[in-house]
Amino acid sequence: MSEKIIKTEYSEEMQRSYMNYSMSVITSRAIPDARDGLKPVQRRVLYDMSELHLGHDKPHRKSARIVGDTMGKYHPHGDSSIYETLVVLSQMFKKGMPLVDGHGNFGSIEGDGAAAMRYTEARLEKFAEEVYLKDLDKTVNFVPNYDETEKEPEVLPVRVPNLLINGAEGIAVGMSTSIPPHNLGEVIDTVQAYIDNQEMDTAALLEYLHGPDFPTGGIIANKKDLAAIYETGSGKIKLRARMEVELGKRKADKDKLVITEIPYTMIGAGINKCLMDIAELVESRKLTDVVDISNQSNKEGIRIVLELRKDADIEKIKNILYKKTKLEDTYGVNMLAIVKGRPETLNLRGILRNYLDFQYENNTRKYQVLLQKEQEKKEIQEGLIKACDIIDLIIAVLRGSKSLKDAKACLMEGNISKIQFRVPGFEEEAQKLCFTERQASAILEMRLYKLIGLEILALEKEHRETLRKIKEYEKLLSSREAMDQVIKADLASIKEEFSSPRRTGIEDGREAVYDESAIEVREVVFVMDRFGYSRVLERATYDRNQETVDSEHSHVVCCLNTDKICLFTDTGALHQVKIADVPLGKLRDKGTPIDNLCKYDGTKEEIVFLTTAASLPGHAFLFATKGALLKQVPGEEFETNNRMVAAAKLTEGDQLVSVQLMDGAREIVLQTDHGVFLRFSAEEIPLQKKNAKGVRGIRLSKGEQLEKVYLLGENTENIAVYKEKQVHLNRLKVSRRDGTGSKVRLN
């Protein structure tokens, strides 16, 4: 067998392959179809459960059985994605209308995972069975599965706009979808209004569809933005938790602020994270009116209780919680769906239009199938009625026939050549027989009891009913208005049986205002050990244990709780941390790594100086690099709200070795790693901007670097140098402004 080598441009092949992969993920994995609002894996799970006859009135079946059957027949992409889909379809806190009835541990709203599939069981909800899977054989197209051994539906004949009711979440290649769930009753009202007037604009539709209805409840706080979101298909919804105040029944009882509903975005680990954030606010004394926090949530719903001090400011507490925790969050809306094989961002009218087109198509197919069946019934019924009228002739033909084939030929074509009538006189009438094949078969299969008078009357009644249905179906298929009424009536029956009250409130809530400057200002002490763990201590705690704290920490700074800590590192960066963001700890607490509080990276840089933002203005600071470049910089240069800025301009390979406050310094002593010292007047170093390179402080020999900098003033004593070298620094001569001068090597 000869091989053919095809030469192609590598970049073109990669681009083509990546595009094919991208479109496969978009259309066949992550993005729902605009018609039934389902992703392929969701559709396949529901269809497989239907094929396994797992109706709402049937026993539950092991989830592993459902997952295995789905994977083997329709979705060969791994069991984890299929089981995760099954779990999500059953979770009431994620879906507006759950489609699967789960039996066992299917996870919780607080983020607990579902039990393994071998332990759980499932079956279809009645809503899924009646609204999503009914009339499968009469409506949608079936296509081959992945290995062409089975058939699966292209879409499910969903009778409601599932894209709105259950929403959708999905991340594809280069795009994502995020559609919030809505209330079933409101969606049906909106569809019925849209059917009556398909020229309605978004504002008119929102009189029926008030907005998303999340299964977790809560409050939508930006009602004014909803019209723009539904008009464009994208935007942000502001969600808030619902809080209630419970007053103490007795004098000794404390008032309570109870969180009963949470934002949809907090599902999972968000609840525990929120509790930790509230606890941190209490510890940092931003929530001084909260004395206790407890999570009393159970299967009945969310209940997070905050016990309050007497005469607590409830509105202030709410504002702090909304501003500083996930009790106020945003839900990003991007209503992306697959329309005719292509991803498209749809607005509300686009979703309704695609849904209605799909319903017209499904109902047309359904009533064409039903019409055909009724016409076949009509044909048979007419044959049977006619046969009853000439029953003597029919019996004579049957008695004179030698085979079923001969009798059928006589009934259909009047062929009596092989019929031997036992009683003469039927030959002429028999030759006039012209039943259809379907009628002839029905006559031959008719039982004698059908000749009873009541049975004949029942047959005639059934025939009249068949004629009525044929007339009705023909009218529906020929009239768009009649089809509209059928769709509306069907939606009304679904609403009556399955709708539930709205859970999410909608309002234009006031902006949560929290002025951090209004916090009670008090003295605290910032401490950080040599491993970078930091915390804030109360000033009274520090005063009682000053000797212990100073000995155990490399940095101890007294400051106000409204101040900031400034970290200057050897890379020339300045990192800032709000004292309010540093956890308030006890004496023996470990603290929080400083890396977690700012952009400082302890693996790539080292702190050379630490001070407070309040100490910067009105002071000058000496910067020295290992290349012996020196400059004085006014503290005002570093006043910024940014968490990280460049504090010094360094040449390639250079590093900061020292940053010091110049207050009272008259002389500077430089020490190199070769043991060379140089002493000169502080006035020799000019005052420059932070981006200046500085002046050379000492001439370095090859491979030599500046190691330390000492500042001498009226009260300055460099005891470390005295004791180590036993040479007084006064022996060193003062250098000239260009940095040259006498050097002394201390051996």
The angle, 0 to 180 degrees and rounded to 10, between the axes of the packed helices 270-283 and 314-324 is 120
- Whole-angstrom Cα distance, residue 81 to residue 65? 15
- Whole-angstrom Cα distance, residue 80 to residue 270? 23
Tokens of 187: 């969606």
Name the residues annotated as catalytic.
119
Looking up tokens 């979705």 gives 75
Beta strand pairing call for 523-528 and 505-506: unpaired
Give the residues across from 242 on adjacent strands: 261
- Whole-angstrom Cα distance, residue 387 to residue 392? 9
Tokens of 52: 């396994």
Integer CA distances (angstroms), 624 to 627, 661, 685, 740, in order:
8, 12, 11, 16
Query: What's the helix, strand, coil split of the chain in %, to 5?
Result: 40, 20, 40
Give the residues across from 101 on adjacent strands: 123
> How many beta carbons lie within 10 A of that of residue 142, not counting itself?
13
Tokens of 117: 């599939």
Spatial strand order of the sheet with 304-308 comes to 242-246, 256-261, 304-308, 290-295
Integer CA distances (angstroms), 486 to 208, 360, 364, 479, in order:
20, 10, 11, 11
Tokens of 317: 């507490």
What is the C-alpha R_g of the chain?
41
In 157-303, the DSSP E strands lie at: 168-171, 176-179, 219-220, 234-240, 242-246, 256-261, 290-295
C-alpha closest to that of 633 among 656, 651, 607, 653 = 656
Tokens of 429: 């009438």
Q: How far is CA 175 from the centre of its chain?
A: 14
- Residue 348 DSSP SS3: helix
Phi, psi of 117 (to 5 degrees): -60, -20
Helix (H) or strand (E) holding 97: none
C-alpha closest to that of 654 among 633, 677, 628 = 628
In 438-569, the DSSP E strands lie at: 505-506, 523-528, 533-538, 555-560, 564-569
Tokens of 327: 């009790």
- Whole-angstrom Cα distance, residue 692 to residue 633? 9
Kindly give, in sequence order, each residue whose CB lies less than 8 Å from that of residue 622, ignoring residues fewer than 6 positions away.
630, 631, 632, 658, 659, 660, 661, 662, 665, 668, 682, 685, 709, 711
